[in-house]
Chains A and B, each alone.
Chain A
């Protein structure tokens, strides 16, 4: 089913003309995921920006079967599709549950955890734009320390949940992270995941120009900076072991990433970094050590 892992797939299975903002990282990512998985795929999508900008009746963007139910049950719905295929002796088919970070890390986490624990042959993709964007940029469990959102006007005081590692701790066979600036890497991970039997988890950093407060044409650059500052480590875990890490030979200070985005403006009162910037640098340093970046 999976052809060459390293070729870039452009099949237009997620058509343009949808209603995402210009430069939306999630729109890019959803297209890459659909094209990498191919026609023989069923997408089970959670409520959120992606669902809203891509599936208005009567003209959805999806050229693969698309199933939306609620905000917090994409993983369980996908599990249902999977068991139906088994019971009916149909398939094989790629079943991909997809949701935003809020759906994945907060309200839908129970369904996700249950799907992992039961071992369904489903790939779950999380588009992480680090807040509830669809409802107007409120904080989620995946919002990083110091981020200003409409419900954390003074900056978030708590850390970002680490969903990829929580996923890996379920003992599932494959967990990976990716960013939308690297088409080849992201699609390779989708294809790798789909070649593995059992539950898989792919966590994609997907900048949101509207919620992050940056120009639409900076999406790619911001992803690169997230990696270069080691704020967002890119890796793969197979059967609980880290099998690949994108090394960062030249590491940049986190300020370079933070300063481009309006959501971190609080951190640079009168232009000088606050103690929170030092705390964020510590998180990046922790990533360097943990993943040997």
Chain B
């Protein structure tokens, strides 16, 4: 049913339709509305689940770890400082191959303290062994949660659904919320593969010495690589069941004849598409590749899609300080060294800590890379407030 609702409410409604048994979360802006809405859904009896009000994000992640290890379908959500506090458990969940679903309401990281959107929080755990899916809008954010449970449980891999804090979580948009039967038909009940249960005594979380540890990591890595197939398949099944495109590895927009390709992810792709349409009206061919699955990073398929493109610009809301753009780094790695074709890959960092990215900013970026390659540039940087002595 189409509803005009807040993004957080849409996610809460859809998570409830996925029938998690255990929800544990700790409040942090801009994630709070999601868990408040879920608390209400549980207290009204619309979802039969244990809702655990924990004392920290570290405990939230630990509670869902324990619950998942005992065979429950689980849910948690966090952002920013909460994600960093969870960090140790985030790695542990992945290493234990527990199919936990987590929403990251993407937000910047202190210091300086900042509650607005960028992608630095989910980037901080990109190497932990989770699947990370980025939503473009609230419809996709909602849909990705249904897909996330299916992918996670099929592969025994945890899935993080990333949605831009405030820009999506607090935005009112029409979202089609499926009914319970549709979701039940798509998402079968959770059949855990390895749990703690006195009927089959076994150990979970044993320690592995150097004879075994590397293999454990290799298997995890391979499982993530192979999950590309499942992510694609689940997205295709979703299209068949729900009649709309959501998820998958990445999507493209007006890419075919594009002279310049923008690569990006998250809610900013909406503005990029607007700009592309305007450019088209002006007779300029610009295209878009929007990443949904940042981990696993679908290198080969991106390569196949972009191999003829000679002018690529990566726009992202994250940075590896002292190194540069993180997504840009992955895109540059996508193309083998010593290619015959001369290719420019430019890197722009934008929107950190909630800095607005205007259409003019985007236009400036595209027009600049038409003229010259850009190694690294902060888009919309206010040079006037930076003093020489601070650099």
Contact = CB atoms under 8 A, between A and B. Distances in A.
* Same assembly: yes
Given A87-B49, A110-B56, A81 B204 contact: no
A23 interface: no
With a 10 A CB-CB cut-off, give which of B21, B63, B197, B200 has the most chain A CB atoms. B63
B201 A63 contact: yes
B208 A80 contact: no
B25 interface: no
A192 to B, nearest CB: 21
Interface in A56-80: 56-58, 60, 62-70, 72-73, 76-80
Contacts of B212: 57-58
Contact of A65 (B65, B92, B196): B196
B66 A111 contact: no
B66 A84 contact: yes
A86 interface: yes
Nearest to B216: A57
Given A55-B206, A114-B54, A69 B89 contact: yes
Contacts, number: 164
Interface in B317-370: none
Contact of B21 (A58, A60, A73, A88): A88
A92 B300 CA distance: 50
Contacts of A77: 62-63, 65-66, 69
Interface in A25-79: 39-42, 44, 51-52, 55-58, 60, 62-70, 72-73, 76-79
A213 B260 CA distance: 72
Given A67-B205, A79-B52, 11 more contacts: A42-B198, A52-B207, A66-B203, A67-B196, A68-B203, A69-B62, A77-B63, A83-B67, A83-B72, A88-B71, A114-B59
Interface in B58-77: 58-59, 62-72, 74
Contacts of B54: 76, 114, 118
B198 A76 contact: no
Given A62-B201, A81-B69, A68 B55 contact: no
Interface string B207-229: 11100100000000000000000
Given A70-B92, A114-B55, A87 B66 contact: no
Given A73-B89, A87-B21, A93 B63 contact: no
A68 B63 contact: no
Contact of B66 (A40, A66, A80): A80
Contacts of B181: none
B63 A69 contact: no
A150 interface: no
A63 B24 CA distance: 30
Contacts of B201: 39, 62-66
A113 B55 CA distance: 9
B62 A85 contact: no
Interface of B: 21-22, 24, 48-50, 52-56, 58-59, 62-72, 74, 88-89, 92, 96, 196-198, 200-209, 212
With a 10 A CB-CB cut-off, give which of A41, A77, A82 has the most chain B CB atoms. A77
A57 B63 contact: no
Contacts of B198: 39-42, 64-65, 93
Main SS class of interface, A = mixed
A76 B207 contact: no
Nearest to A42: B196
A132 B56 CA distance: 24
Contacts of B24: 80, 83
A45 to B, nearest CB: 8
Given A57-B212, A78-B66, A80-B22, A68 B56 contact: no
15 contacts: A39-B201, A65-B201, A65-B203, A69-B205, A70-B89, A76-B58, A80-B65, A80-B68, A81-B66, A81-B70, A83-B67, A84-B74, A87-B50, A88-B70, A114-B59
B22 A68 contact: no
A39 B198 CA distance: 7
A106 interface: no
A87 B206 contact: no
A119 to B, nearest CB: 11
A166 B62 CA distance: 23
A46 to B, nearest CB: 11
- Complex A-B, nearest 3 residue pairs according to Cβ-Cβ distance, in ascending order: A80-B66, A114-B55, A76-B62
Please tell me the size bucket of the interface on A.
35 or more
B207 A57 contact: yes
A111 to B, nearest CB: 5
A39 B201 CA distance: 9
A117 interface: yes
Contacts of A44: 66
A83 B74 CA distance: 11
A166 B121 CA distance: 35
Contact of A111 (B53, B59, B71, B197): B59
Contacts of A68: 203-207
B128 to A, nearest CB: 14
Contact of A55 (B59, B62, B68, B207): B207
A114 B206 contact: no
Contacts of B67: 80-81, 83-84, 87
A56 B218 CA distance: 19
Nearest to B69: A67
A238 B299 CA distance: 61
With a 10 A CB-CB cut-off, give which of A39, A68, A73, A117 has the most chain B CB atoms. A73
Contacts of A118: 52-54
Contact of B64 (A41, A65, A70, A80): A80
Given A42-B196, A70-B88, A84 B58 contact: no
Given A40-B198, A83-B67, A55 B203 contact: yes
A93 B197 CA distance: 9
B203 A79 contact: no
A62 B65 contact: no
B231 to A, nearest CB: 27
Contacts of A40: 198
Interface string A77-113: 1111111111110100100000000000000001101
A76 B55 CA distance: 10
B66 A79 contact: yes
